[in-house]
Chain A
Amino acid sequence: MIIELRQDILVANQKMVSVVKERLAQEKVLMLNIIGSPGSGKTSLLEATLAGLTERFQVAIIEADVETKRDSERLERFGAPLYHINTGGMCHLESDIILSSLDQMDLASIDVVIIENVGNLICPADFDIGEHAKIAVSSVPEGDDKPSKYPVLFREAEAVVLNKVDLVPYTNFNTENFTTDLRRINGTVPLFELSATGGDGVQAWLDWLVQRIEASQAVDVTASI
């Protein structure tokens, strides 16, 4: 007997995505999914972001780490609610684990949830976790060919951060090559060239983020009237 069908293989993940999205919409919470290579500066970007946002917004962080809790420890000093996920070897996050983190949060008091996904440019891009936007983080020492080698992440991203621009003079990184390749893959995505640890360019990223948070809150308000 042959059964013909068209069924999503990731249906279980997608079901939880719907629940996550509903939960976030109810409480008007924006959720961002930060994706980039190991060491690209995802946690450093979170540090810079928390330093710049926590006065105006309630930010909650979900930290995914394959093994340690080091990244969570680095972020504790900001006092933002912090949820740690040890993926135990998994190369990406799925929506069920995000839902159990959201279950522990007082979402009514939170404006934005920022997730640091597992350091990886391929697998996390393939799993929807109910986020409103994926943010791709790439960094200068990785080389200027990352968009062309990992196009799907850069295509799916709603913003791209090029981190560690302070290191450009010490490498053969060619910013024009990076930008040209990125534009072929995603011609409309905002690009933030910055130094998460040095501070250069961070303000433009924060301004975009503030706008994004305010826009999502405004949309949700009109939708509920």
Chain B
Amino acid sequence: MHEMSIVEHLFGVIAEIAEKEGLSSIQRVEVEIGGMRQIVPELFQFAFDAGKDRTIAAGAELAMTFVPIQATCNVCGAVFEVQLHEYVCGSCGAVDVKVTAGKEILITSIEGDCDDN
């Protein structure tokens, strides 16, 4: 259930950005999550909806984008997408591979209204 903790961190980040940008309400939040984050979308959504009403994001909609895991082979240099957590190079069979994407846990967009309108 680390979705709960991560969503708590998300509310913290939203509050900080809202304050910096002078937002008084928020309608929509977009996040980007890598495949190595083991986030269950339903749990993340649930944690967001269950917690948002006591934050500035009350009533906000959440949109999630999931980023596939990508790796580069340290032996032949091939770049490939990791399927089903099989960290093996599809071109040469090497297991010495470096993950280059899939650990993202980002907020990418906030839509809201300013104090003065």
CB of A173 within 8 A of chain B?
no
The 0/1 profile, CB within 8 Å of A marked 1, for residues 92-117 of chain B is 00111101000001111111111000
| Cβ A123 vs Cβ B2 within 8 A | yes
Q: Mark A140-160, 1 if CB is under 8 A from B, else 0.
A: 000000001001100100000
Residue of A nearest to B108 (CB): A6
Q: A91 — nearest CB in chain B belongs to which residue? A: B1
Q: In terms of DSSP, what is the predominant structure of the interface of chain A?
A: mixed
Determine how close the nearest CB of chain A comes to the CB of B67; give it in whole angstroms. 12
Contact call B36/A152, Cβ cutoff below 8 A:
yes
Whether B87 pairs with A187 at a CB distance below 8 angstroms is yes
Q: How far is the CA of A92 from the CA of B37 in the complex (A)?
A: 14
Chain A residues with CB below 8 A from B95, complex form: 183-184, 186-188
Q: Are A1 and B111 in touch, CB under 8 angstroms? A: yes
| Residues in B whose Cβ lies below 8 Å from that of A51 | none
Interface of B is mostly: mixed
Distance in angstroms from A148 CB to nearest chain B CB is 8
Q: Given the known A-B contacts A5-B108, A5-B110, are A186 and B6 also in contact in the complex, defined by CB atoms under 8 Å?
A: no
Segment among A10-18, A164-172, A191-199, A209-217 that sits at the interface with chain B: A10-18
Q: Is A67 an interface residue (CB 8 A)?
A: no
CA distance A1 to B23 in the complex (A): 9
Interchain CB contact under 8 A, B1 and A3: no
- Contact between chains at B106 and A7 (CB < 8 Å): yes
A126 touches B38 (CB 8 A): yes
Residue of A nearest to B11 (CB): A9
- B85 engages A2 (CB within 8 Å): no
A94 interface hit (Cβ, 8 Å):
yes
B17 interface residue (CB < 8 Å to A): yes
Pick the contact of A126 from B37, B86, B106 — CB < 8 Å? Answer: B37
Q: Does residue A55 face the partner (Cβ distance < 8 Å to B)?
A: no
In the complex, which of the residues A5, A122, A155 contacts B17, with contact meaning CB atoms closer than 8 Å? Answer: A5
Is there an interface contact between A13 and B17, defined as CB atoms closer than 8 Å?
A: no
**Minimum-distance CB pairs A-B, first 10:** A187-B95, A151-B85, A123-B2, A2-B111, A3-B110, A9-B105, A9-B10, A184-B86, A7-B107, A126-B2
Which residue numbers of A lie inside 8 Å of B, CB to CB? 1-13, 90-92, 94, 122-123, 125-127, 148, 151-152, 155, 183-188
7 more contacts with CB within 8 A, not counting A3-B17, A5-B109, A151-B85, are: A2-B111, A3-B109, A5-B17, A6-B106, A12-B9, A90-B5, A184-B87
Can you report 27 A-B residue pairs in the complex whose CB atoms are below 8 A from each other? A1-B23, A1-B113, A2-B109, A3-B21, A3-B109, A5-B108, A5-B110, A6-B106, A7-B13, A8-B106, A9-B6, A10-B6, A10-B105, A11-B13, A12-B9, A94-B5, A123-B1, A123-B2, A126-B38, A148-B85, A152-B36, A152-B85, A155-B85, A155-B87, A155-B99, A185-B87, A187-B96
